Chain A
Amino acid sequence: MSALLEARDLVVHYRDVPALTGLSVSVAAGERIALLGANGSGKSTLLRVLDALQFPDSGTFHFAGEPITAERLEDRAFSREFRRRVGLVFQNADVQLFNPTVFDEIAFGPLQLQLPKSDIRARVQQTLQQMSLEHLKFRSPHQLSGGEKKRVALASILVLDPEVLLLDEPTAGLDPRSASEMVELLASWRGAGKTVLTATHDLDNLEDIADRVIILQDGRIIADSTPFHILHDVGLLQRARLIAAHRHTHPGGAKQPHPHVHADPLTPPAAPTSDRFGPPADSAATPPIPRTPATPRAKDPD
């Protein structure tokens, strides 16, 4: 079976700063993938390329076998079709909520795709109910809480019923309850046939929202495996700056202090040190952290 999303050797620069450095990934229809990586590792850029908001400096991106380029997207019919099938939920919900009310916000996508107006009304109404946003219908975005904003942003994409959902940190900045509601929603899509890519820092719920985990570092993929394997590879998680060496939660909830030795400040930095923030992102070597028991549930201190 050919891949639904196929990216080859993507290179993207922002002015002179590299964001993606030769990244290739292939996603089959119905896969649920989590993208992990520290801040600035290229997750958001990858999602933007996959949503055809940004085009790579070099490399190719194919959607359902069709090459996606700026010229191709100029074709209205094609672009409409692509937008209907692929949806991106932005990390900053404020960016995505640009309409005067929640109702208008959810209606925006269908209106742009020029669906019949009666159909739009029915769809919006249905989405409002599904996402339990009915009571917020006529609110302005600035009158919503952070969790509500995220829900509306997600609803504004779900109303289009896209095959591919790209989610940029859907749980970031949410209180624990809103976050767990969001995770429940994402988990409920298991087996629904949707292709979902979720960029996240949240290791706790990885197994609920994804069947495959990709770790990004410095604009390329450093690991691609199942959640179980990834979560058990402490060295990998530390290298990707996803857990800190000294503070992380072990099964049973105990925060165990890990003894460590600071390098003598007088000796040159040749001796590998382990500071509070974990090893530097670019150090490929496994840091000299005392071996800890395997952590199926490692937690990012942030």
Chain B
Amino acid sequence: MHIPDGYLSPETCAVLYAASAPFWYVALRRVKKLLHTRFLPLISLFAAFSFVVMMFNLPLPGGTTGHAVGMGIAAIVLGPWASILAISTALAIQAFFFGDGGITALGANCFNMAIIGSLSAWCLYHLLAGNAPNTARRRVIAAGLAGYAAINLSALLAAIEFGIQPIFFHDAHGTPLYCPYPLSISVPAMMLGHLTFAGFAEFILTAGVVAYLQRADPALLGDSAAGQPRALRPLWLTLAALVLLTPLGIIAVGTAWGEWSPSDFAKAPAGLARLSNLWNAPIARYEPQFIRSASVGYIVAALIGVALILLVFLLLSRFRPGFIERTTGHLYEIAAHSLFAEEIARTRGLLQPVDPRLKLCCACLLLVAAISIRSWLPLLILLGLITALALLSHIPLSLLSKTVWFPALAFSGLIAIPALFLTPGPLLYAHITRPGFKTASLLLLRVEACATISAALIFTTSWSRLLRALRFFRIPVSAVMILGMAHRYLFLLLRTARDMFEARQSRLVGTLPRAERVRLTASAAGVLLSKTFELTTEVHAAMRSRGYHGETYLLDDPS
């Protein structure tokens, strides 16, 4: 659900950044007031925790695995405001350090997952759990459902953001310039995945951790560690208003809510109809006329699509290593990535000696340029240029293709392929339409260009210098501290998690039954959470010992 750069128009990104900003502001102020001084290490460590938990593979029905975002558990344990900050921090580190999720799309990702996700999870949890005692079974179920609903709401928002792209951002011929799928496709496609897989992962994690805490540390479930907001109702109202207003805000170009659907639905099935003919053709003669109508064709195509996705998942899970190995594999990858990045950042290439503030500015401008360009030639030139810069900065071509180009191609390529056929317009070759080719190639090129720009920034700038550069953009000192501390403890928690899984694996003979695997992963997350809290207390003591009183100061110059 992490939206990469290149799928959303600059206008959409700007609106969503603007929509997130007041929440960050309020959250920073509010949490600081509520928690006096402990909030800084708490948010930081919790951000690190949710980052690590995102790496956990959770066994899902059908032999597949998925991973959760952790907004459910963050909202329940920290309260909604602290959770907004913690999840936003985790997302920012992923974008700025690991190139996971876009930098221009960070506003959108934070809005969907950190803000709406946390608020809805928290509201729903308290609505469902009521006044049940901390150790009640009802709290486990309430937590699971809250996580499930929150991630689905986030997915729905993302789907809407995707779906409105073709309506507002298309060329003179109606060819979509960003995400090529209208709401009629983006919403069901996203929701199918999340209602089944990702939703269950979130359910299992949230419920599992709450169940673990009930046994191990029920006090954590009582008062949210960051204090309770006084009244529930204002939060509910805010949430409802937001959910209704967001699409309106993005649409803000003069179209009213609801107007998109007729035009949209009229446009999409034109392409779908042709695709559906592919499937319907062999049996067409035996079917009544309505079966060949566009809407039925669409449903058939969607069903076949879902079936294909399921099949691929099942096949993949047959060939993939055991599930503990997969989690530890992810954890190792993160450590390896940071090692590579720091190593390359230390060599003397073209971009390394450049002032990080300048680099960050340029990278952001280039990203905005990349998502603003609407034809393929300038994009291709931009991609070539950035690649040249990256190579001159000693980023090996193999690393670039392995960690940047190929994953982006695989992910966005899969997404772009159906657009080749579904976008209505004159045929180019076989069933591929001319606008379909244009929209798919634009999307791919843009995504690759953005990913390469991010990689050029990330691989040539060490994290600490990047952090200092952020100060230049007037990001509050406490936010920079949180980012820095979250990143630093990320590695400690990664190692702890890795040790836990490896210790379990070393005692493992044969394969674990599924229920056992679920319990193992959920309780690993629970143990990690307890450790996170212990560490928070200790780190806070260490900070106080050196005079920390709730204010933070930094040496500003990026030395």
Q: Residues on A close to B: CB < 8 A?
A: 48, 51, 53, 76, 79-80, 83-84, 87-88, 90, 92, 94-101, 103-104, 107-109, 111-114, 117, 120-121, 138, 140-143, 156-157, 160
Contact = CB atoms under 8 A, between A and B. Distances in A.
A140 B553 contact: no
Contacts of B342: 140, 143
Given A87-B545, A156-B546, 20 more contacts: A51-B545, A83-B547, A87-B546, A90-B542, A90-B545, A92-B538, A95-B535, A95-B539, A96-B542, A98-B44, A98-B488, A98-B539, A98-B543, A112-B546, A112-B549, A112-B551, A117-B555, A140-B464, A142-B492, A157-B546
B487 interface: yes
A95 B542 contact: yes
Contact of B542 (A98, A143, A160): A98
By secondary structure, the A interface counts as helix
Given A117-B555, A140-B463, A83 B545 contact: yes
Interface residues of B, number: 31
A138 B464 contact: yes
B544 interface: yes
A80 B547 contact: yes
**Closest 5 CB pairs between A and B?**
A112-B547, A142-B491, A83-B547, A109-B546, A100-B484
Contacts, number: 87
A245 to B, nearest CB: 33
B413 to A, nearest CB: 35
Interface string B456-494: 000000111001000000000000000011011101100
A53 B537 CA distance: 11
B546 A103 contact: no
A157 B546 CA distance: 8
Residue from A94, A107, A156 whose CB has the most chain B CB atoms within 10 Å: A94
B554 interface: yes
Nearest to A124: B555
Interface in B247-272: none
A107 B484 CA distance: 15
B487 A100 contact: yes
A141 B488 contact: yes
A67 to B, nearest CB: 19
16 contacts: A53-B545, A83-B546, A87-B545, A87-B546, A90-B545, A98-B485, A98-B489, A100-B484, A104-B464, A104-B484, A108-B543, A111-B553, A140-B464, A140-B491, A142-B491, A142-B492
Nearest to A160: B546
Contacts of B538: 90, 92, 95
B41 interface: yes
Contacts of B535: 95
A79 B547 contact: yes
Nearest to A92: B538
A53 B544 contact: yes
A187 to B, nearest CB: 24
Residue in B342, B463, B467, B555 with the greatest tally of chain A CB atoms within 10 Å: B555
B541 interface: yes
Contacts of B41: 98
B464 A112 contact: no
Given A76-B549, A87-B545, A98-B488, A138 B539 contact: no
A165 to B, nearest CB: 12
B548 interface: yes
B559 interface: yes
A99 B555 contact: no
A112 B488 CA distance: 20
